[in-house]
Structure 1
Amino acid sequence: MRRDTFLKSLAALAAAGALPAQAQNSVNIKMMIPANPGGGWDTTGRALGKALQDAGAASAVSYDNKGGAAGAIGLAQFANGSKGDGNAMMVMGAVMLGGIITGKPPVGLNQVTPLARLTSEYNVFVLPAESPLKTMADVVAQMKKDPGSVKWGGGSRGSTEHIAAAMIAREVGVDAAKINYVPFRGGGEAVAAILGGNVTVGGSGYSEFQQYIEAGKMRAIAVTSATRLKGLNIPTLKEQGINVEIGNWRGVYGAPGISEAQRKQLIDLIVRATKSKAWAEAMTKNQWTPALMTGKEFEDFVDREFASLRATMVKAGMI
């Protein structure tokens, strides 16, 4: 068969959907994860990458972890190094918004392209198994006695667990400005600090602590949801008399300067990925709630979240 005839045949097969998914989509996605390995953004980015390949939406996915400053370091690298790149994605979420509000970095989300919200989840607070404290009531009592003696460990300053800790303090009559919050650049660092007893109480998504809770190395004492998480016997803050409820969410952005056609293509790939078996398995394993929202709707959601988080942080005495 002549080469031009062969190429025409391939084009016809692709148009008819008869080619394998990988052949139709020789897309190599570059995934920026603006956090160190082991945390929620890392888990989300790698789960999305696997789902993109499982769905045949991408032939390959590479990952670049760049932690620090609530994602601001990775955001700056992504914004400056991937301009116009229609194959680049960056994981982000509510934590980045909080970090931007508190840290006021030179590069903001307005410089990159919103694609989609993926998941939502709530924070879980845990104690090391060997801790003399056993419940959230014990933590509150210790904090009332000496706020600085309780070290709260979690994500970067401005993260949802940081905000939750400040809200808890305010609700129980402790000056939120006096809480002793220890930020970490990734979930792996936070887990090590909790297991080593270097912080009093740790906070993050359930998925980051799951294996340690199940192994008896951590004790879950509260969740920031309105009701208990399905299948888990973890009391909410509200049922313990602390009127705090705050959720977390994660999403993805595209590079600066991409065209509307490139943006639509990336969104279409993400939507396909969320329908894959690999994504469904990740949702179940990590106790994530589906929260898909794309394009302009997601962009408007982020604007509202900025305003809401800022108001919450002002009320909690953080800014």
Structure 2
Amino acid sequence: MPGSSQRKGAIRKKARGNPTAGSGGRVRRGLEGRGPTPKAEERVKHPAYKRAKAKAKAQERSAGRRPARKDPDATVEWVYGRNPVVEALRAGVPASAIYVAEGTERDPRLREALLLSVERGVALLEVPRQELDRLTSNGVHQGLAIQIPPYEYAHPDDLLRAAYDADQVPLIVALDGVTDPRNLGAITRSAAAFGAHGVLVPERRAASVSASAWKTSAGAAARIPVARATNLNRALKSYKDAGLFVIGLDMDGEVELPDLQAATDPIVLVVGSEGKGLARLVRENCDLIVSIPMTSATESLNAGIATGVALYEISRRRTQ
């Protein structure tokens, strides 16, 4: 009706606010939540996510590659002399053959060497004494020698893969400038004893897994892999990219070993030589430098002992 819009009550007035919107739908959606909490490996900022990503990268890099490789420059080695041969066989050195000179007088050491070689399936060869003189470069062999094949080194990525395959927090020992094979053997033995997943050595200016290293390791070189890196600094950077914490061991450390807070984290422990310590570039690549507290009367420990002390402390902290 024309004009009725002016009549009182003809048009309903809107209330203040927004009474027509309602809250039922919004409240209902809010009560539904966001679903189950994602696993730690699926949360981008969680350490478990970084470890899972690093594990996948390590497996991808090592896919289709042999886990071990022979040193192309290595040659067979000889351990000769009755006591050295017996000690090497007791330590589990992987001899490929045992040589006995014709007419050699039998004694308890020779009998033990022959017995150990039979137990380990080592080939026994009897040769003329002149031939054994030639093979050992006229060394004092006492009519007995063993031949050791070149060591098969692992790839640096294999050490990381070994830790992830065992579902353990990685612990790797890297050596910088350690040239004494006996120190290498002692470090390998400590690494195996305290749960490390491998030892990394550079190709140049470093000790190799020789007969002497085998003997000092007391067979540990057969239980824990030793890897070789063409460039140690590049290998350390690769480990850092994989989420590992690189710790240098040096007498002028920023933190003393008992105060190390990162003992339970994925670690690469870098050990330098007794004389020169860590090289400058290697030191710069370390996230932290740690020292072993000692009395003032003692200047330093050799690389083998220092590594054993550091690995013991890290192992103790991880098992608390």
In the superposition, the TM-score normalised over structure 2's length comes to 0.23
User: Which structure has more helix as a fraction of its residues?
Assistant: 1
Please tell me whether Structure 1 or Structure 2 has the larger radius of gyration of its CA atoms: 2
**More relative contact order, 1 or 2 (CA 8 Å, 6+ apart):** 1
- Under a length normalisation based on structure 1, what TM-score does the superposition of the two structures give? 0.23
